Structure 1
């Protein structure tokens, strides 16, 4: 009878301690996805799926892609559409009135507005919001003549590169919409795969030394989805985003050795782990979990070498660091994220997710009061870095193959909240995209005259997901996992009109 005593060398807890003691630094979240996969055996369901002929993606696109990589920028808290990319001069004309007192009262009968919201705006609620004028001016720019607010002076120079979608809608009127924007489902429905994890699942790597899916900045707060905003749900932990810090001294939180370890010693330690895993593999030659485990350790070592180099700006020119605003307090943090994103896609990372505005709660863009001061400050932190990213990608020939997405969870009401703020508004808001085979200088869809709800070419949040996947040559229905059937709205529809 064959014995399996070598299987008992380490239980899960001992294995983690063993790795930590070896100086590999696997204690933290960044490489936790690898350890999670390490301890997951192949399930009987997966075996049954394979028996029926289903196979996971082979890393190749389903059709010719327009883009190779995605840079996904998410502004946390809810950016006002009427003070950014969908200016509404009618707000100024009717400042202080209720919607019912304007020539636009018919919007209250829109089939897109839920009954409870219609009653609130119509004044049946004790607090009747008044229309609040735009808190900033706007201008038309470029050959396209598209209008954006004056809080975006740097980005306005790139207006002819942008494809603005002004007709977004979602269903969550609370900040669970942050998770909803990334997964397509309400936060109460559990953690499901995010758009980044679908890209990771569907496409192979372009650089075996770096993760396919990287997260920069502080993620969503626990109240709004937490790490579910970069999670992979039922696709498995190996498809989660890997969080990196823009710091070459410690780019992978908690994953550096506790003490400096010579490269040669690191290699010998990994070789020992590799031999132990291959002992197990001898008894389970058909178990893909064993293969995945071995590959994960190999990737971890390569990452410790490659990631610090990717996030080290010392060889960037003074002109480049000035371009991104790294010498200014207001723009330094997000500028560093944007420059790191360029360096990562330049080195073959598929999906780079940037967060701005995480403050441990609903998000810095959540302007229930003092919207003018709030948005002026937040825009000043991101406007120059985002414009620099587009400039830099374009001059390096990378914008054509990189899809840049700017998004937020919902917009803000045309009416005031209190005296100088705006409430959450899921019925009509804006996002924009650039590069990746899209047309530039176009505005797709529209809200009504007051920016209340999307009325033309309306798009639920998963239409953005579908557009991203389409640009990468992926069909979400061909990625579907047996046992996890998705609704049509989960898949979304790519906005084909945006493609050149």
Structure 2
């Protein structure tokens, strides 16, 4: 019978090697850095035969990196990218007053409305569009007037106007990232899957980075690796120039050479013990974490040093304007990370729930659009002029749309907003392998149901797998086989 070495107590007066190693790593270097330790920690998938040893594209990729822009709260499709003039024609009337079928009687209504929060959302009084729209670019794609800068980029974008999801509450935010309803078993998010499947392009930076600020801790579900293990978690970077790597800075009292010597000692101890513990994934992963952390202390500040960019580039992103500065910095940092080989940069561009305009939609969307319009357009223009749209994919999305009817719940006497709407909304792609100046799919005349080429949210994931050369069926973990809907199907019509 084998003894359990992990439970053996050390001889009197001595300490276990693992305790010594941990104390040395934490005490001597000051690197309590849970994010980086987690990043290289062991997960259930880390010890499987389908892990890092098989990383890499399964077929020739069209792209090598992704910038995923997420706007939390649910922007209105008809006030952004899917104008519906029939709303103006029937504004103030009910669905029964129109020439169109009652959308609540459509079978798709029940198919695409699965409640976590049991709230009746059957609003009936149609709300006119709150903004004008016009055709833009050589492609003549219609876009609303709240996007004056992005309107100049429509010829580089593929709009998908026929997305739907199945959660009518804000858990849809997490659903669009991992593809499962809140009532179902969780899955790793798309960034973790791509990191798991492809591996690193730059050994000094993570494969998967999260940029953005939030106060609601549930946002961490958006970059959770779940059963893939913490090695594939998104690593949070800060854009504070004095502290770009939270908890990871070398203490001022420790010289760089001194720290390097400490890591060398740790590595030597690891080699000595590898014979005794050849299958200790946790130990090996933690050592790798320290090594990565040491390299990142140099590479991360350089990658996030936006001051090295020209004033013209900073103006392009709106960094010189108070209203757009923080948003522009996140997107410029995303470009710099993609430039340096980060596979997946997830930009949480707006605060949690910012676009959730149950009331004062015109006021709220006007403000929010102005905050992100110039930075997003700046990113696309910057990527294009640098030739990075040839190998970088940009995804721009939210968790769901807004109702064609006015929000009437509660005691509001002057309703002025729209409710959650999972049945039809718009997202877009730009960059490597994607058609330019193109519209795919459609909602009905009132913007209610996705009726032409409807796509569940994991079709976004499948499109990225396809562009990056991955077959998702070959990423399955034993005992964790995903359902077909969780893989999705590539939106082939938007691919060039």
TM-score (norm 1): 0.90
Secondary structure of the residue that 1:277 maps to in structure 2?
helix
Aligned to 2:180: 185
Moved over 6 A (4+): 1-4, 115-118
How does 1:249-288 map onto structure 2 within 5 Å?
Answer: 249-288=242-281
Distance 2:105 2:39 in 1: 52
Could you tell me which of 201, 204, 211 is aligned with 2:199? Answer: 204
1:27-50 C-alpha deviation (Å, 9 max, x unpaired): 4x432414643xx6xx7x987x64
Task: Judge conservation of contact 1:154–1:387 (CA < 8 Å) in 2.
Answer: yes
3-state SS in 2 of match to 1:71: strand
State how many pairs are aligned.
477
Matched, 1:390 2:380: yes
Say whether 1:436 aligns with 2:426: no
Q: How does 1:280-319 map to 2 (within 5 A)?
A: 280-319=273-312
Residue equivalent to 1:33: 38
Q: Tell me the secondary structure at the aligned position of residue 259 of structure 1.
A: coil
What residue in structure 1 maps to residue 406 of structure 2?
A: 416
SS at match of 1:166: strand
Q: Deviations over 1:227-257 (max 9, x none)?
A: 1110101111000000001123211112223
What does the per-residue CA deviation read over 1:259-318, in whole Å, with 9 as the maximum and x for residues that have no partner?
Answer: 353210110111122122223212133555544333222111101110000000222111
Change in 2 beyond 3 A, CA 1:370/1:57: farther
Tell me the equivalent position of 1:122. none
- Cα distance in structure 2, aligned partners of 1:166 and 1:373: 24
**Match of 2:307, SS?**
coil
Is this contact kept in 2: 1:194–1:232, CA < 8 A?
yes
Q: Which residue of 2 aligns with 1:103?
A: 99
State the partner residue of 2:157: 162
Distance, in Å, in 2 between the alignment partners of 1:259 and 1:437 is 46
Decide which of 83, 86, 99 is 2:82's aligned counterpart. 86
* 2:71 aligned with 1:63: no
* CA displacement 1:157-214 (0-9 Å, x = unmatched): 0101110000001010000001100000122435420000001000121111111100
From 17, 27, 31, the counterpart of 1:21 = 27
Q: Aligned partners of 1:427 and 1:87: how far apart in 2?
A: 16
Q: 2 CA distance for matches of 1:460 and 1:286?
A: 41
Q: Which stretch has the larger CA shift, 63-72 or 270-279?
A: 270-279
Q: Select 1:341's aligned residue among 306, 326, 334.
A: 334
Residue 77 in structure 1 maps to residue 73 in structure 2: yes
Change (3 A) 1:116 1:231: closer
The reply on whether 1:379 has 2:369 as its aligned counterpart is yes
Write out aligned runs for 1:110-121 (5 A). Answer: 110-114=106-110
Shift of 1:56: 5.2
Unmatched tracts of structure 1, length 5 or more: 119-124
- Alpha-carbon distance, 1:220 to partner: 7.8
- Matches of 1:266 and 1:89 in 2, distance apart? 64
Q: In the superposition, relative to structure 1, how do residues 46 and 218 fare at CA in structure 2: closer, same or farther (>3 Å)?
A: closer
Matched, 1:458 2:454: yes
Q: Per the alignment, do residues 458 and 115 of structure 1 end up closer, same or farther by CA in structure 2, a change over 3 Å counting? A: closer
Local SS of the residue matching 1:254: coil
Give secondary structure in 1 for the equivalent of 2:108. coil
Check conservation: 2:189, 2:223, Cα contact below 8 A. Answer: yes
Matches within 5 A, 1:481-496: 481-496=477-492
